[in-house]
Amino acid sequence: MAKETLQNLIPTGFLIISLTLILSFFSLATAYNNTNEYHFSKILSPKKLGLKREKLSHLHFYFHDIVSGKNPTAVRVAAAKTTDSSPTGFGFVAILDDPLTVGPEPTSKQVGRAQGIYASASQTDVGLLMVQNYVFTEGKYNGSTLSVLGRNAVLSAVRELPIVGGSGLFRFARGYAQARTHTFNLTSGDAVVEYNVYVFHY
């Protein structure tokens, strides 16, 4: 009788240990799921975001940088004490909201604006740091933006500026812009710049 009880006890003890192990496994799994509910990070397939095929687009427009007159589109907001005596204007900062148009004439149809900052950041030539968003307002691109971060050696015939990102139709954008001065009025300082933008996006 006593022998039988001992034999019965062993499997019971084993069962209790197994149950404890199983339960603690479940509580661990629940804790793991709880932290996972917040989805701080997970791997996603591009299809889940509706990303199918990467496209290459070419955009062509003219950038009107108007610094003179009653309604300038680019305004100097800061400068160093030494800026005006610097041959390259080193140290000034300007904020712009420049129209982008399909043609070079000021009356040409507007397709967007270039909004941001340019700053004179070179002591050896006229070299601007360009930090700008192109905000498009036309057709399917209305509301989409491209972000530009680059160096603009304005006296060079062709300047290349990286496109570092975008929004809307230009999500995941990357590419480059080529800038060529179309006209520069030495008296007023106003400039019209032709832009060719090549950009990969979805």
Tell whether residue 142 is a contact of ligand NAG (CB under 6 A): yes
Nearer of residues 76 and 151 to ligand NAG, judged by Cβ: 76
How many residues of this chain interact with ligand NAG, rule: CB under 6 A? 8
d(CA 95, CA 201) in angstroms, rounded, equals: 28
Nearer of residues 184 and 198 to ligand NAG, judged by Cβ: 184
**Any idea how long the chain is?**
202
Nearest Cα neighbor of 104 from 135, 66, 61, 67 is 61
| Residues in a beta bridge with 148 | 132, 163
Which of 143, 155, 160, 178 binds ligand NAG (CB under 6 A)? It is 143
* Per-residue binding letters, 111-140, with ligand NAG (x by CB under 6 A): --------------------------xx--
Nearer of residues 138 and 162 to ligand NAG, judged by Cβ: 138
Tell whether residue 181 is a contact of ligand NAG (CB under 6 A): no
What are the counts of helices (DSSP H) followed by strands (DSSP E) for the chain? 1, 9
Tell whether residue 36 is a contact of ligand NAG (CB under 6 A): no
Nearest Cα neighbor of 187 from 96, 94, 69, 103 is 69
Nearest Cα neighbor of 62 from 191, 199, 202, 200 is 191
d(CA 88, CA 189) in angstroms, rounded, equals: 14
Nearer of residues 111 and 154 to ligand NAG, judged by Cβ: 111
In the complex, the residues that contact ligand NAG under the rule CB under 6 A are 68, 137-138, 142-143, 185, 187-188
